[in-house]
Amino acid sequence: MAGDRLSWSGLLKWSLSYADGTRPSRAISCVADGGELVGGVWVVVRGSEEERRWLAEAVERHMMVDVVSRMREIALLMSTPLSVLEAHGITPDDIEGLLAELQVHVESIDMANDLHSVGGLVPVIKYLRNSNARIRARAADVVTTVVQNNPTSQQLVMEASGFDPLLSNFTSDPDLTARIKALGALSSLIRNNKPGVSAFRLANGYAGLRDALTSESARFQRKALNLTNYLLSESHSDCSVFAQLGFPRLMMHLVSSDDLGVREAALGGLLELARDTTLGSRSLLADHDRLRWLLQARIERIRMMAPEDLDAAREERQLVDSLWIMCYHEPSTLHVEGLLVLPGEECFEQPPDVAGRFFEPLRRSSARRAPSNERSDPGDGTGGGMMLLLGPSPGSRSNSGE
């Protein structure tokens, strides 16, 4: 693997740099004493604890520099015009391999944030428009890894105009895999990123999600539903927009999917729509009879499941019951028949109150001290309970002259 090759190369360079030619260096002695390669770092198995720590820290520092240098080399190659690369025998497979190696390097959040500074981010975004579908898909993979849970790189990608080619590939790429990869990158780019969500909304990304739900690909459907559910949970004001675009009808259709992940995501989306306080269950009112029939059909299928399938469908069971309660204001028959929580699952419902027994004597003492004719006001947080005063009151601070 590329990572192993770089680790061995870096270790050799680093070890030789510590040798003076007259005697084995401390690094070489440590390595000779026995060790193993763990996560790209050579860890000494024998020797003193100090030697192990010293070698691990030194190699890690050197490998960090080695990876940055390699990322810079890849960025330089990707910045070279395709005609020049082709003249030197660089094939599309070679470019795809470079992108795959780069994706491994940027799994570290520090390396991901360094990608722009070494000149690699803009070429990766450029490859999103490459004529080769596999290269477009691989470039989207790199963007996904770079921006995932990384606000700094999310902003850098937005500033480098990475949003537009991703949206274009998601909505209109002729290759299905490239579309799926672009959607994955978009999902990672706009999560917890308000400018990204706004750009997605203004670019009519919701219509693209609707189209993805009509795809024959369960993977595409799952990704589209997961992003839809995130957007619904983040902004309930958009529930009416999703309803007008026909998402409830599409989600109800997908509730009967053969794919468990699609069914769960579709049920989750319907539940988010039903929870909306401004629209509420009215968004599903026109199709309530159909929804009731679909949920009853799912309950019947759940009844017929083998024990192992029933266990795997735990989230689906809970979603069906929650949606039934939200729409019809009563528990589903899953609850009545004991299929909602199976034997052995109760322990996951409510964690044990470990600390409660320590505070119980204080609660009883506080209750005895409280006058019986007073009622506590849940709004003031003072009556009928125990008050914990942490630090001086504002008055004592002002009176002290501070």
- The percentage of residues in the chain with a pLDDT greater than 70, rounded to a whole number, is 67
The pLDDT, as a whole number, for residue 341 is: 87
* Residue range 150-195, pLDDT digits in tens: 999 999 999 999 999 999 999 999 999 999 999 999 999 999 999 9
**Measured torsion, CA atoms of residues 30, 31, 33, 34, in degrees rounded to the nearest 10:** 140
pLDDT at residue 221 greater than cutoff 70: yes
Cα–Cα distance for residue pair 99/200, rounded to 1 Å: 26
Please give the mean pLDDT across all residues of the chain.
Answer: 78
Cα–Cα distance for residue pair 299/373, rounded to 1 Å: 50
DSSP string, 268-329: HHHHHHHH-TTTGGGGGGGGHHHHHHHHHHHHHHHHT--HHHHHHTHHHHHHHHHHHHHHHS
- CA quadruple 12, 14, 17, 22: dihedral sign: negative
The pLDDT, as a whole number, for residue 254 is: 97
The pLDDT, as a whole number, for residue 41 is: 44
The lowest-confidence range among 63-72, 169-178, 210-219, 292-301 is: 63-72
Q: Which has more pLDDT, 8 or 264?
A: 264
Place 51 in a pLDDT band, splitting at 50, 70 and 90.
low
Q: Is the pTM of this model over 0.85?
A: no
- CA quadruple 108, 129, 163, 209: dihedral sign: negative
pLDDT at residue 26 greater than cutoff 70: no
Top CATH class, 61-203: mainly alpha
The lowest-confidence range among 52-61, 185-194, 267-276, 340-349 is: 52-61
pLDDT at residue 224 greater than cutoff 80: yes
The pLDDT, as a whole number, for residue 385 is: 40
The pLDDT, as a whole number, for residue 279 is: 59
pLDDT at residue 313 greater than cutoff 80: yes
The pLDDT, as a whole number, for residue 287 is: 59
- 62 close to 41: Cβ distance less than 8 angstroms: no
Cα–Cα distance for residue pair 191/176, rounded to 1 Å: 23
Q: Which two tokens stand for residue 203?
A: 């670019």
Domain chopping of the chain, boundaries: 61-203, 241-342
SS3 42: strand
Cα–Cα distance for residue pair 204/241, rounded to 1 Å: 11
Question: Terminus-to-terminus CA distance in the chain, angstroms?
Answer: 63
User: Side-chain half-sphere of 17: how many Cα atoms within 13 Å?
Assistant: 9
Compute the residue count for the chain: 402
The pLDDT, as a whole number, for residue 55 is: 62
* Residue range 354-377, pLDDT digits in tens: 444 444 554 554 444 444 444 334
The lowest-confidence range among 31-40, 93-102, 122-131 is: 31-40
